[in-house]
Structures are given as C-alpha cells and as structure tokens.
Amino acid sequence: MRIPLTIALGGLLAAPVHAAELTIEVEIPSMTVAEYHRPYVAVYVEGADGKAAADLAVWYMLKDTAAGHGTKWLPDLRQWWRKSGRNQAMPVDGVTGPTRPAGRHALSFDARDPRLAGLAPGRYSVVVEAVREIGGRELLKIPFDWPATAARSGQARGRTELGAVALSIKP
C-alpha cells in the first residue's frame, strides 16, 4: 500500500511548476528629424531602496561603426550607468542586445530566469531609460510587487524618446 502512495505523491511533486511571468512592452516612437539615431535603452528592476536589483536588457550599438560608437555612449544612460552599468563588463551575457528600430518590442521573463530568481519578496519598479545621440533622454518607472500573487499590470507613457511602456505580471 505504501508503494502506490509513494508513487502517486512522487508524481504530484514531479508535475511542472508554473512560474510567474513578467512581460514588458517598450515602444520606441517614430521620429521625423534631420539626423536620427536609434536610442540606447536600459530596462532594469530597481528596489524600493533605489538600487538596481536586476538588469533585464541593455540595447546599444554592439560595435564601433561609421554610424556610431558602441559602448562609448552607454554612460549617457545616466541612472542605469550609475546604479549598475559601470560595474559590468560589456557585453553582458543574456542582457546586451542591439539597438531597436521604432516600433513595439516585448520582453518576457519567468520567475526561474536568473535575473528574477534572486529577487527577495518586496516592492520594486521596472525602469526603462532611453537616450539618443542628438536627441533627448527619458526615464519611466512602473512599480510592482514581487513575487506576484495575482495578475497585475501597469503603464507609463513617454513624451519624446519612449512611447508607451507596459508591464504585465501573471502569477
């Protein structure tokens, strides 16, 4: 009798665990300007203490080219650079990516992702910072609680370098 019960309980424990999912949509607006450069963008999680808790994405020119200078302009992402960027060797594996064109871009992470797995329970903000050469700078924050106990969403809207930024969390 104990063997079937052990097998049954073992099967329940081996069932897949569905982790919380965090999705961020970032809109880079289309601009009609004389000289357009794609923005450098940092997406990260900031704790209630204002310190960077996890880098989720950093989009920049990966190499020096005639059109730009790779990592030279990363310090212009001022908040991210002060909190996290200057302590990193670029490119950061799993975080670094090329600049993105105008349009909507989605990032999705689950709770098992190493960038989120280390977050202690508490209040956080998703921060999206953008800067563009011969352009402006913009920073948006969307607060959230982690871990997610119920579905939540939040939005912020930029004025110049960022359009709509949306956060969706599913437990």
- How many independent structural domains does the chain possess? 1
Let me know if residue 11 belongs to a domain. no
The pLDDT tens digits for 129-168 are 999 988 899 999 999 999 989 999 999 999 999 999 999 9
The pLDDT tens digits for 17-32 are 557 899 999 999 999 8
Residues 63 and 71: their CA atoms lie apart, in Å, by 8
pLDDT for 54 = 96
Let me know if residue 4 belongs to a domain. no
pTM: 0.85
Where in the sequence is the domain holding 113, given as residue range(s)? 18-170
Residues 155 and 44: their CA atoms lie apart, in Å, by 15
pLDDT for 68 = 58
Do 60 and 70 contact (CB within 8 A), yes or no? yes
Let me know if residue 26 belongs to a domain. yes
Tell which wins on pLDDT, 111 or 64: 111
Look up the CATH number of the domain holding residue 55: 2.60.40
Let me know if residue 38 belongs to a domain. yes
Residue 87 has pLDDT above 60, yes or no: yes
Let me know if residue 5 belongs to a domain. no
Residues 83 and 79: their CA atoms lie apart, in Å, by 6
Let me know if residue 163 belongs to a domain. yes
Summary mean pLDDT of the chain: 87
Let me know if residue 10 belongs to a domain. no
Let me know if residue 13 belongs to a domain. no
